[in-house]
Amino acid sequence: MMVSTLGIVMTLCTLFAGSSLAQIVSVSTSIGVINGKIENITFLGKSSTLHRFLGIPFAEPPVGDLRFKKPVPKAPLRAPLDAFAHNNACMQGHQRQSVTYSEDCLYLNIYAPERKSPVEKLPVMIWIYGGAFARGDSSMYLGDRLSVHGNVILVTLNYRVSIFGFLSTGDSVSPGNYGLWDQQLAIKWVHDNIASFGGDIEKVTIFGQSAGAGSVVYQGLHTGNKGLFQRIIAESGSVTPWWASTDKNLQYAKSIGSNANCNMDTSMTLLSCLRNVQADKLIGLIANSSKEDQLPQYPFLPTIDNDFIMFDPRRVFDLDNQLSRDAVNLFAEFDFLTGVNAGEGVGGLYEMFGVNDMMSFMPNRTDFKNRLVPMLVQVEYGEHVPSVLSKMITIEYTNWTDPDNPLNVRAEYLRMHGDASFNAGMYKTLDTHSTITPTKKTYMYYFDIEPETRLWHGIPWYHKAIHGEELVFVFGYDISYKNQTLSPKKWEMDLSSDIMTLWANFAKTGNPNSPDDIGLHWLPYNTDSQHYLHITRNLTSANVKQRWNIRRAEFWLNLVPAILQPSACSNLKP
């Protein structure tokens, strides 16, 4: 049977691999014929058939002269592609065993449940991983269970990270944000081709966690994405926090260039030199930089390039900011779901915040006031801010019932970091979206459990879900990390089933409550009611609550900016 290069044509045949037999499926795409495997999946007692396509190239390898440039769409294949295994992950400093890392890394993976009929169209969910814009890969997130349980087509993709994805010279020579352009090109590829896999291009949801959450919000603000997707899920992240953008990429590029002995007379000479440095050496120069280089832990981040990002990310959701009006108007066209975990503040337990030993961390009140709070302020707002800001934060984050108790000091330290780095940004994004959108829905969750089966958490004195610990629930404990085999408790698997249903419902209808009812009525968020879903072990209608952590959200969103206004600080000593 001939396979059309244009139509939706799927053929079944038999692949002989030694003595085993496996069915394959062939799909026609814009780059040629893609062969995938047909797998039988058993999950939660139900057997399903899944079409799995792994390692599909959506761009030309970004190597040589294409390093530090926008991705180039993949040219047509010369022969059918056997998409049977994950391909390379992108170059980065944090590498997992059994994963191959390369600059040739722009691949995506498709998990498509077998449809009831050839004319059925399934919702599509496109996953964008997190990792501080410095690490991560799509092969970690296995899509079998979320796909078959939710009856959605799941797409995972790679994008360039660290210096390869976000180097910028601050001008037209190398504007930056190549990782965001990678994501967008993959989204375009899905828009152009997913119908051939049974996907509905009118029901596309992009979702991500941490830097991936920041990424999907960036994509939702980029006017070039109009018509490419309809919904956004942002888990623990947005574009407003300090970790989601930088204006110092040129400074950091020069630091790496200096250590690589590059000529830095012009942006072009610097870029030409860095293009010729071996990839692993570039990663090593970042990892082994000295204190004199003044490189933060993750130096290369999204930046204003006046192309992909044409606004100040920290102020994009200010309703009086006319410079970002077009971007925010586009954002209002998407259904939006977002939330945070109880232990987001554990991210403050690192050297960059003055914590050298997280296991025995037990600050006293004086150290908290004189050292730890000012360090957060410096990372968040820079050095030249009024000293009264640190005093205000110290007062707000003191447990006045027993202020000298080290356990209370530590608990308030974690709350401070969670609020400053994640929770305030969530509320800013929620408030703006729910205020300006005329027809779309806004939803908020708060993930508040004590997991028993943990993928990476190793802090014995903290028990709540930390940053990223909702991921195993979203993917049905189908995550590949350090070759671990997870054996979740029954309550964890039940909760995972509910969360996957809610996420898939949202992808299907923009409403997490339907079409599959799990017995709760999750109300939309607005600035008056501020409803949210309190995710605990057992989800019922009683878990729909109001006004979580509002006092401290108001502190960061309204009081702190007022103090930072030049007019408010004119009479204060810096």
H, E, C per residue of 78-109: CCCEECECCCCEECCCCCCCCCCEECCCCEEE
**CA gap 77, 56 in Å, rounded:** 11
Fold matches, 10-310 and 364-569:
yes
Q: Which helix (H) or strand (E) holds 442?
A: strand 442-447
Residue ranges per domain, the chain?
10-310, 364-569
The yes-or-no verdict on residue 472 having pLDDT over 90 is: yes
Single pTM value for the model: 0.94
The whole-number pLDDT of residue 570 equals 46
Q: Which residues contact 450 (CB under 8 A, 6 or more apart)?
A: 463, 464, 465
pLDDT, tens digit, for every residue of 252-283? 999 999 999 999 999 999 999 999 999 999 99
- Tell me: pLDDT of 7 over 60: no
Alpha carbons within 13 A on the beta-carbon side of 358: 17
* Residue 389 pLDDT: 94
H-helix or E-strand spanning residue 28: strand 20-29
pLDDT of residue 239 exceeding 60, the answer is yes
| Banded pLDDT at 21 (limits 50, 70, 90) | low
CATH topology assigned to domain 364-569: Rossmann fold (3.40.50)
If phi > 0 it is left, if psi is from -120 to 50 it is alpha, else beta; for residue 195 that is alpha
170 or 21: which carries more pLDDT confidence?
Answer: 170
pLDDT value for 268: 96
Q: What are the CA-CA distances from residue 316 to residues 241, 284, 313, 521 (Å)?
A: 11, 34, 5, 31
More confident residue, 344 or 486: 344
Average pLDDT over residues 20-39: 90
Q: Angle 249-259/279-287 helices, nearest 10 degrees? A: 110
φ, ψ for residue 570, nearest 5 deg: -60, -30
Distance CA 287, CA 306 (A): 29
566 confidence band (pLDDT: 50, 70, 90): low
What confidence score (pLDDT) does residue 22 get?
67
What are 544-559's pLDDT values in tens digits?
999 999 999 999 999 9
pLDDT of residue 500: 98
CATH superfamily of 10-310: Alpha/Beta hydrolase fold, catalytic domain (3.40.50.1820)
Question: Which has the closest alpha carbon to 29: 225, 196, 190, 227?
Answer: 196
What sign does the dihedral 9-15-20-21 (CA atoms) show?
Answer: positive
Q: Give CA separation, 236 vs 207, 427, 449, 465, in Å.
A: 11, 11, 15, 12
pLDDT, position 292: 72
Q: How confident is residue 20, by pLDDT bands cut at 50, 70 and 90?
A: very low
**Residues recorded for the chain:** 574
**315: Cβ–Cβ under 8 A, 6 or more apart, which residues?**
240, 321, 324
In DSSP terms, 111 is beta-bridged to 52, 154
| Per-residue model confidence as pLDDT tens digits over 320-379 | 887 788 999 999 999 999 999 999 999 999 988 999 999 999 999 999 999 999 999 999
